[in-house]
Structure 1
Amino acid sequence: MIHLATLLFAFAGFVAICASMDKHQGELFGRRLEPRLKPRLRAAGAAGLAAAFACAVWSTGWKFGPVEWAWAITAGAAAASLGVTYRPKRTAPAGAGAAFFGAMLAASAFLVGIA
């Protein structure tokens, strides 16, 4: 369960980083966003990647957690780049949904005490 949350956080983080770029804003939103939103989107992307790292280390420990995180960010970056390329209008809502469901999975795994 927590492994899926790791992947969802990585995907959401990369979608947020893509959304902070001028090149992708027109594709994702149909318009350019205000300049004051760029740092917030970058921070949200960094937070998503940090949450993915925390989930990976929590589930498998420091020995294999960074390895799992490397796999998750590779898959998340590939999914985000394919989404921005082929389904740009659906990628931003998918990133937001991934962040929400990743948080729900991580919270439920934490409350139940499983990894």
Structure 2
Amino acid sequence: MLAIDNTNIIDLGRGNGLPGFAPKVAYAYDATAKTVTVTDTTTYQSGDSKKKLIVRVHDKFGKKVEGTDAAAVSTAALNASKPFDVTITLITTKDLVTDGGAYDIQAAGEASKWDRQYR
């Protein structure tokens, strides 16, 4: 008798990523327009795609604004005296979920800190 039957969760890839799924999101910060725009360039597993991408831009004083990759996120309500942080939640049509971030952002870059907790 097994104390816990974990056969349905073996090989899910927790902590090591899932085969064929590689989250990748680029950002562009426009200080003049006071916007952050993100572009999803994720590699998805066969039969999977982006369901939702949530973007949060944070200032260093506790304020945040939220948007998606469908339009630029306005940072006009944030304090720009220090660099912003961007956190991203990516949800796929197969309900894989991962969070990523970019910190002290410059004009452009990539979210490179992904949590790798996919389910």
TM class by shorter chain equals 0.3 to 0.5
Instruction: Answer 1 or 2: which has greater helix percent.
Output: 1
TM-score (norm 2): 0.32
Give the TM-score, by structure 1 length: 0.33
More strand by share: 2
Q: Which has the larger radius of gyration?
A: 2
